[in-house]
Amino acid sequence: MKVNTVYLLLFAGLLFFSCNQGAKKGEDGQIVIGASMLSLQSEFVVNVKDAMEAYAREKGIRLIVSDAQRTADKQVQQIEALISQKVDAIILNPCEVEASSPAVEKAKAAGIPLINVNSETTAVPDGFVGSHDEESGEIAMEEIARRLGGKGNIVIMDGYMGQAAQIKRAIGAKKILEKYPGIKVLAEQTAEWDRAKAMSLMENWIQSYGNQLNAVFAHNDEMGMGALQALEQAGLKDKVVVVSIDAIADALQAVKAGRLDATVYQDAKGEGEGAVEMAIKMAKHEPIEKTSVFIPFQLVTRDNVDAFLK
């Protein structure tokens, strides 16, 4: 009896506490923007979210952020919830190209402007702020080709198989590889975006290809860092080029220290701010010059790394 009451109180308290952070609907005409993000366990997405929140605070609007945890189905539900809350605009950071499309269509049907941030869906949204993910794969592979002089043996670490980012980065890399017949892909394998798995995979590859290997391309920096560590432990780093994508803080530090050869910067701040800015304009029905804003990727090497380190 007594224990039950305590549980109940705790439970109620917890509910109150967690609700408190969410549900205050904008008072006196304050603009409310809802957002559903791919995954708040990904550092890059967290950076985009932080930029969005900072910009929203600066502009005095309310931003509701939900985490789709890489599940398109959950993402569609979150958009439905935002629609029923009658937000003024929605920012969608899609989980999947196809499977997140119903979210776009539902917002359209409800007459709420929707902006895709970072990546695309099949259904065309009202606005888009982001990059072509293929481009990142192209830039990274071009850098590897440049460093190897168009000739050598490489291995590729894929992201989680079947996810949009993995598919597009792979397409971009393949496009460049076709230009350089001298570059041979010894092996291609997924390490599921995970540093520990990448490290194990690289250790195993070192056993099979140790002395023939000239470069590693990893679909993200986490895996790039894992590969880097495995190479360093095997004493092979000075013989092997490692290039990855995302320019997370750890990777930038590694570039500065001369450990990681290059990473590809995706402008989280530019994307986040751009998306919120467009959303505010659409909510206020102000004219917009361009409904598609492409924020280019940039190659980060030791020469320009300081500009990206804040």
Q: Residue numbers of the site for other proteins (CB under 8 A)?
A: 40-43, 46, 158, 161, 186-190, 194-196, 199-201, 203-205, 207-208, 222, 225-226, 229, 233, 248-250, 253
Q: Where are the beta strands (DSSP E) in the chain?
A: 32-37, 62-67, 89-92, 114-118, 127-130, 152-158, 183-190, 215-218, 241-246, 262-265, 292-294, 298-300
Nearer to other proteins, 201 or 245 (CB): 201
Taking the C-alpha atoms of residue 96 and residue 78, their distance in angstroms, rounded to an integer, is 14
Least Å from the CB of residue 25 to other proteins: 25
Measured from the CB atom, the residue of 71 and 253 that comes closer to other proteins is 253
Q: Closest CB to other proteins among 21 and 84?
A: 21
Tell me if 191 sits within 8 A of 158, measured CB to CB. yes
Task: Provide, rounded to whole angstroms, the least separation between the CB of residue 21 and other proteins.
Answer: 12
Min. distance of Cβ 255 from other proteins in angstroms? Answer: 14
Nearer to other proteins among residue 121 and residue 163 (C-beta): 163
Q: Nearest approach, Cβ of 73 to other proteins (angstroms)?
A: 18
Shortest Å, Cβ 233 to other proteins: 6
Neighbour-count burial of 230, counting CB atoms closer than 10 A to its CB (0-12 exposed, 13-18 middle, 19+ buried): buried
Dist. CA 184–CA 196, nearest whole Å: 26
* Side chain identity at residue 264, one-letter code: V
Edge to edge, the sheet with strand 241-246 lists: 183-190, 152-158, 215-218, 241-246, 262-265, 298-300
Closer by beta carbon to other proteins, 67 or else 120: 67
